[in-house]
Structure formats: structure tokens, C-alpha cells
Amino acid sequence: ALKDVMCYNLISYPAISLQGEHNKLEGEFLAKLYRRFSRIIVQYDNDIPGKEAANSLLIRHKLPIFIIPEETNCKDLSDYIAKEGLDKAKNLINNIIKEI
């Protein structure tokens, strides 16, 4: 959601939010994103609805996906920042994105 977009902004990554796992990333909107960004990576919450929504985008659009790792015991980036701090969060996301 918006708090995650703000967190990604803090670590210098542009981000958008669909305001929920059930909103669709389709058609012209997805085409506009591809015209604007060289890479689109999907990150949803580390919970069942988030994992299902991310997998749906992987299947439908072949978009790379990730979630905050289970071992962090965090649902999303804002939880991780609150728990571990901004520098560790930036390192975590940078490392994940390098592997994608």
C-alpha cells in the first residue's frame, strides 16, 4: 500500500501500489509502465493473499516477483524497516533485486 511505496522511495526505488492484491495490473496501464521503466518487479506482502497475487502476476505477465523473506518474520518492507532499520532494509532489497 502507500506506506510501502513511501518505504521504497526512502531507499531510492520508484514504486507504485495497486491498493490491494485483488486489483488488476492489466492492459494499457501495464503498457504505460513498460514504456516508463526498464524493469518491473512485483513485491506483495508475505502473507497468503500477497503470495497468491504475486504468483498470479508471474503466471499472467511473466513479471519477476519476490516477497520479504520468511526468516525476517516481517510481512512487508515497512515492517522490516521498523525492525531492522533503513540501512539493512536497503541492503536486503538491493541483494534481492540483484538476484532477480
Model confidence over 84-93: pLDDT tens digits?
999 999 999 9
Taking the C-alpha atoms of residue 32 and residue 43, their distance in angstroms, rounded to an integer, is 19
pLDDT in tens, 29-62: 889 999 999 899 999 899 998 899 888 888 988 8
Q: Check residue 23 and give its pLDDT.
A: 64
Average pLDDT over all residues of the chain: 90
Q: Are 44 and 21 in contact (CB under 8 A)?
A: yes
